[in-house]
Amino acid sequence: MGMPVTKPDERRHRPEMPVADYFHGDKRFYDAREHVSVVKIFSGDWHVSAKGGEMLATILGSCVSACIRDPVAGVGGMNHFLLPGDDAGDARVSDSARYGVFAMESLINGILSAGGRKDRFEIKVFGGGNVINNSARIGSKNAQFIRDFLKREGYRLASEDLEGEHPRRLHYYPDTGRVMMRQLKRREDMIVVEEEARYSRQIKSMPVEGAIELFRP
């Protein structure tokens, strides 16, 4: 179980892009209704923003995203990763966990390179849903990895929304730290499960630092 934390804002502020459409079209675009530049974060991806007026968007099934920012430096970002899964048992040394470590270190180093400082980090984590009804509980393993990683590295967790049984849509504003999150429960939303299964098959046969295709058709 995770620490008691403040839940993200789940209010729906406007009609949203259908989940099926999320995986198509431009990765970056300007939302004129919200007056914000949107960057989609797919699995295996990460992005750091050092300017205001930018929103990072992702959809999570079993995957996990860390949203990290330095509020003083005004820089922050998001990653999105999935552990392929293995039987090593120890998340610190398993081949599977290397994907999570690589994703976290890439985002953290990106924020530091843009002027952030570790001692000022505000960290919020989301995802890890057990969206497929089986005994593997891949989402819980991803959630446990991110908790263990942050504890081991000495980072304080400001907020989390992990595990459960449903995918999540996540909007993150790095300049303010605001999070808009909604659980996806409609049948058509389950397309994210199919996309994650495809991505999982791909990364099992590729090295962590290899040219992994971003999580999209």
Two structure tokens written together for 168: 């999540």
pLDDT, one tens digit per residue, over 151-191 is: 999 999 999 999 998 899 999 999 999 999 998 876 656 67
In which residue are the tokens 């892009």 written? 17
Task: For residue 213, name the pLDDT band (cuts at 50, 70, 90).
Answer: very low
pTM: 0.79
pLDDT, one tens digit per residue, over 8-55 is: 444 444 446 666 667 777 888 888 887 889 999 998 899 999 988 899
How far is Cα 67 from Cα 46, in angstroms, rounded to an integer? 10
Which residues make Cβ contacts (< 8 Å) with residue 198, sequence separation at least 6? none
Any idea how long the chain is? 217
Which residues make Cβ contacts (< 8 Å) with residue 163, sequence separation at least 6? 128, 129, 130, 139, 140, 143
pLDDT at 123: 98
Tell me which DSSP letter residue 190 carries.
G
Domains and CATH numbers, the chain: 19-203 (3.30.1330.200)
